[in-house]
Structure 1
């Protein structure tokens, strides 16, 4: 006898189906539903987990047999002659997948390699937290983007910008983040990955991660960060300064030696302010800390002081030019 689903279970299944679909954009509504009741996250995780298990069974069935079964066994259910054991196993796997469809496995009927990639991005003035279906989550800062397959949300690609990850550790199924040619593997963690134009920064606030780049591996522990230039191996870790690795807007940014272009990109991403550099400023270098708390005018005033620039309004944003004294 089948069990009657509760309203919360039906809602979890519905959310799993919608979140698995290409182009899903209701992340904020999903986050609100998850936060409304502690049971919601458990039910949502269960729905996603059942979907992944069903998908794994289906993935083992050759694509040709999947479509044959769909067209013959489901679309035209007539009596057939006995099948070989392999064929019966495939039918059982398909049945498991059909059951898993109720839990969001909308992609498994497609041929191998054609599963749609989920792409989630943010505007410059937006911050978004995304539940990944296994009690893990990612928070995207402004003008950032991640990509992953709904079948495997524990393998995330950061294509641009900055993202903070809170991960449920699973040694059997490691959580990985790739940013260009750099791979970060969770070892039980809360961490931040910032992919810049010329380097990627990884900062760990809880637990540890393993970073692999250019054939070398480095382990970072809580309170450490590493800046990896594009194409280079990770160097020795350094200690986090206050505000680094923080998931909130505002806070502070600390640098050892970066270009003005990197500073402005980070400030824009963290605060949502649009800032443009006048010609000749992008390549200048900066070392120090910048406090991003307070209203935009206060932040702009601090930037003028620490970068020795002059700021003026330009539409809805700002343009930085060399300070009048020529520094």
Structure 2
């Protein structure tokens, strides 16, 4: 097997497909110690500050002990390549039984077996949609009471986010760094596109709608296997969390974008979930009997987020009465 520079980059940055990863792993596992050493001899271009010499010598020693490869002065790769690129290069030797975490000295001097990726949470605690610009130029419209987790290493090698709530994404194109959003049980991966995700923890479903481009959505099914679905613009994947099943359905693109302007959009949404979203949006409590609304759906667009207008409309369409006591709505 002859690996190209692009394949190496994707493998080291953990952005290649599962099939490609298995192929490369099998290839690496077939190499001798000398052939593995040759891979390290090739080195990588400098892209960051080089590793401190004392640390590099310790890491070289660990490599020699774990692999039996004697890294002579002529072919010591650690001292001549950037620190984060060395970590990537050393990862190819995992097939020889190394555990990379043990190479890295903990700040306190104690060994650490696991490295956690630092991140920051962006929470929209207001009653208005917030627009966020990510480091790569991608834009996210975050619904009220929603949260976006952004790793500190975002846009270095990969672009992976975690969403709780609802967000509309306009992704900056970068073929070398796929853009992924983990939302509950569903993961959406794109290269550059516009899409909407609904993933409120208390709701019965998770949904991904595509307005432009193409996305791959991975979801765990009831049988325990992962299913991959490729969405086309104007379509939505709706995943039922309790039964671990999903359906595909057409969707009006304007529905998926109008809420980002401050309105509220419900596209065939379970009425019980509508009440939950109204609670989030207006910071109120809605008391209702779930049995009375089992199986009932609501499709509606409210350009202005006016609670009184929404409740009057819903009461007429769904056939219920309501009254308000301070910050609680009683549905009868």
TM-score bracket relative to the smaller structure: 0.5 to 0.7
Q: Gaps (5+ residues) in structure 1?
A: 1-55, 69-81, 95-108, 323-327
The residue aligned with 2:288 is 278
1:9-48 equivalences under 5 Å are none
Other-structure match for 2:212: 206
Q: CA deviation at 1:273?
A: 5.2
Q: Deviations over 1:61-85 (max 9, x none)?
A: 69x928x9xxxxxxxxxxxxx9995
Aligned to 2:115: 113
Aligned to 1:79: none
Q: Take 2:148 and 2:177, find their aligned partners in 1: how far apart are those partners? A: 19
- Post-superposition shift, 1:277? 2.3
Flag the structure with more relative contact order, 1 or 2, with Cα contacts below 8 A and sequence separation at least 6: 1
Q: Which residue of 1 aligns with 2:199?
A: 195
Q: Deviations over 1:290-313 (max 9, x none)?
A: 232343322221122223222322
Kept in 2, the 8 Å contact 1:290–1:302? The answer is: no
Q: Whose Rg is larger?
A: 2
Q: Distance in 1 between matches of 2:184 and 2:51?
A: 32
Match of 1:304 in 2: 315
Matched residues, number = 240
Task: Select 2:299's aligned residue among 286, 289, 298.
Answer: 289
- Which TM-score applies when normalising by structure 1? 0.61
How far apart are 1:155 and its partner, in Å?
Answer: 0.3
Q: CA deviation at 1:136?
A: 0.6
SS in structure 2 of the partner of residue 285 of structure 1: coil
Q: Does 1:261 align with 2:264?
A: no
TM-score using structure 2 length: 0.60
Partner Cα separation in structure 2 for residue 141 and residue 132 of structure 1: 16
Q: Specify every segment of 5 or more residues in structure 2 that has no aligned partner in the other structure, as ranges.
A: 1-46, 59-72, 85-105, 221-225
Alpha carbon RMSD of aligned pairs, Å?
3.9
Q: Does 124-133 or 278-287 show the bigger shift?
A: 278-287
After superposition, the C-alpha distances for 1:129-177 in whole angstroms (9 at most, x for unaligned) are: 221111112221011112121202520111x211111101222210001
3-state SS of paired residue (2:262) = coil
Confirm or deny: 8 A CA contact 1:216 1:234 kept in the other structure. Answer: no
What residue in structure 2 maps to residue 34 of structure 1?
A: none
**Residue 243 of structure 1, CA deviation:** 2.0
* 2:178 aligned partner: 174
